Amino acid sequence: MLSRQVLNKTKQQGKSSSAILTAVFLIITFSATAQDVAVNAAAAPANYGGLSANMFYFFAAVLGTEIAAILFLALTIRSMYNELLPAKTVAKSNAFKAWWNNLDKKLFTKAVPVEKEADVLLDHDYDGIQELDNALPPWWKYGFYITIVVAFVYIAHFHVFASGKNPLQEYNAEMDKAKIEKKRTKHKIKTRLMKPMCQWLMLPVLVLLKYFLMKNVKPAMVVPAKVVPDQT
């Protein structure tokens, strides 16, 4: 049902229909191009998942273009769908749009409406180019203020109070730590190597000692003790 309404709407609006057809044509074109890229990439030397660097980035660009075309098509259909909604729903959408525009003007762009551009128009005219004395975007100004505060904190932390380490001090600390870790690693390796080495070196000595003792040392005679009867 919605598709029929959308089609009827597109017949009435030539611009929207041409935009949709253009988007569909882009999707089909880029899909065919992506298939050709995949076939050619199979024979390329393995670099990025079987693709060369150039083919990988080209394929990524093709996918990005397809995604952009799909988003454009979705937004176009969404705008047409909003036109087919009841009056209450459209009113809610317009209210949200007005709220967002107001927020955008106050925090993000602070742009001057078109009907009031004459109030901020500069007097000079260079090569027919007219300039507007627009205010800086609030997000840019607040970000600039934050960088100033961070700069003062950095200077106080590293240079005034010397509570932080400068790059040279951090480097020396890392080198000292690396030396300690190097000694510890050498000690561990030495311990692990010496233990089995000592066992293998002592084994023939123990075998020779056993052979010498068995050949030259006679076992001691054990004389049984006499049992003396109790005369009490």
Confidence of residue 1 (pLDDT cuts 50, 70, 90): very low
Mean per-residue pLDDT for 62-75? 87
Do 34 and 27 meet the contact criterion of CB atoms below 8 Å apart? no
Lowest average pLDDT, out of 77-91, 102-116, 169-183, goes to: 77-91
Q: What is the pLDDT of residue 144?
A: 92
- Give the span between the Cα atoms of 141 and 109, in whole angstroms: 11
What is the SS3 assignment for 209? helix
Looking at residue 44, what is its pLDDT? 41
Residue 182 confidence (pLDDT) = 92
The domain segmentation of the chain, as residue ranges, is: 2-84
Which range among 16-20, 38-42, 135-139, 140-144 shows the weakest confidence by mean pLDDT?
38-42
Q: Per-residue pLDDT tens for 185-206? A: 988 887 777 777 777 777 777 7
Question: Quick one: pLDDT at residue 7?
Answer: 46
Distance CA 195, CA 191 (A): 6
Q: What is the structure's pLDDT at 145?
A: 93
